[in-house]
Amino acid sequence: MQTAQLTIDPAFRVAPVDRRLFGSFVEHMGRCVYGGVFEPGHPTADARGLRTDVLDLTRELGVSVVRYPGGNFVSGYRWEDGIGPAGDRPRRLDLAWKSIETNAFGLDEFMTWARQAGVEPMMAVNLGTRGVQEACDLLEYSNHPGGTQLSDLRRRHGAEQPYGVRLWCLGNELDGPWQVGHKTAAEYGRLAAETARAMKMIDPSISLVACGSSNRGMPTFAAWEATVLEHTYEHVDYISAHTYYDPSDGDRASLLASAVDMDAFINDVVATADHVAAKQRHRRRLKISFDEWNVWYQARLQADLDRRGWVEAPALIEDTFTAVDAVVVGDLLVTLLRHADRVGVACQAQLANVIGPIRTRTGGPAWRQSIFHPFALTARYARGTVLRTEPVCPRYETAKYGDVPVLDTVAVHDESTDELTVFAVNRGPGDLPLDIDLRGLPTLDGVAHLTLAAGDDPAAANTEAEPDRVTPRTLPTPTGDNGHCTVRLPAVSWNVLRFAPRR
């Protein structure tokens, strides 16, 4: 049987875990908003139409920050449509998702929802069809205390105190020809720089995210980042990255190694940003906002768009995720944590229904998808400082990524409690014994081993009829002596190994 070894030492620090790594995304797409977070008349809806069952699951998920209102949707969005009396709001065509936007849920409702969910709002401004002035207007409405037309308008709409939004995206995926207002890197870079300068004149405390490439496979990847950052580096705090991994081709071995690609993506963006920093003599090192990532059965989307006309809140990409998908999502979280020194924000797309960890039925229940569990447990236990791990393990061959390790790991040490959490992914088809060297933390004993394993039933999924078919289970506690412990990682599994000071 193949075996693996892992050494953990608190001296090998990467960076503290930023809570913004556990972000999500609410876009006006499909049923993410309408029928997802917002459904007036639902049995659980509050006076504002917010589904409290979805709010409860959002809090359980451990979401820290939520990006809004898009996504592709924001590139044609008029923020003014979503404020004021709901009965006075216009209905408009949404070109991004070929649907009718009622604007019944808008900026003010989102801020109320965010406050109730206990999440930080992350707003995106429209730099597709609009520009500097509209972005400044939205910022003034949101963050200025009062005494101006727009800040007083917010107060008349019931928000006496500013929303205090600290995190702003300067548009979305404008490198993509599918985007309304698609631009070249030079066009976008100049507009983003002008917008950033103006917004920071209004509120210098905000942090700004410049658009990176829509994905690593774009023909302009890296060149786009380099050009955009040559315009914006001194004005922004993050460059965005987006990626999705598609199981549709049935290549499970490559799918399970998706984190290898995410890891290379992050390294490429960091290298490009640091090149611009060196070229322009910047000491500050830019961070990445990985504000769209997930597993997504992408082949299904175009068919959904082609077979219907203009309707309200159509069901779009409501993928049902399997146990294998959950292991992949857990591994992507491992990668984000491993790069905690350079990834400062991350948002899984999206929160509800649209490839979301939460699914709902209109008028009916809400339930946890399989991918809910690795996110929730990572958000719960990844507290403290990320430690570098260098596992020694077998490797296997994949069609997409070549030779890859069977084991992927990251460790997080909470210095306030001296507790340690190891997240370990076994990508292989067989059980994997893992020897962990903890001599650098000699007072710790194993206290828990949770696993989400897909080896026995890879296609298992949670549905309305079986909402708990895929859930984490408890395995024997890691044991050992002389600073070593051994655990057995089930085939195709994502694992949480917990250690605490000896009592």
Q: Which of 134, 173, 225, 419 is catalytic?
A: 173
Tokens of 227: 């050009």
**Furthest C-alpha separation in the chain:** 71
- How do beta strands 207-210 and 238-245 pair? parallel
Interaxial angle between packed helices 185-202 and 223-232, expressed in degrees from 0 to 180 and rounded to the nearest 10: 30
292 part of the active site: yes
Give the CB-side neighbour count of residue 245, counting CA atoms within 13 A: 30
Closest Cα partner for 169 from 379, 352, 347, 353?
347
479 bridge partner residues: 486
Q: Check if 187 is active-site.
A: no
Residue 485: its H or E element: strand 484-489
* Torsion angle (degrees, nearest 10) of CA 237, 341, 374, 456: 130
Strand partners, 136: none
Alpha-carbon distance values, 148 to 83, 165, 200, 237, 316 (Å):
17, 18, 17, 28, 40
Cβ(453)–Cβ(430) below 8 Å: no
Catalytic residue among 101, 120, 292, 419: 292
Cα distance between residue 303 and residue 296, in whole Å: 15
Give the active site residues: 173, 292
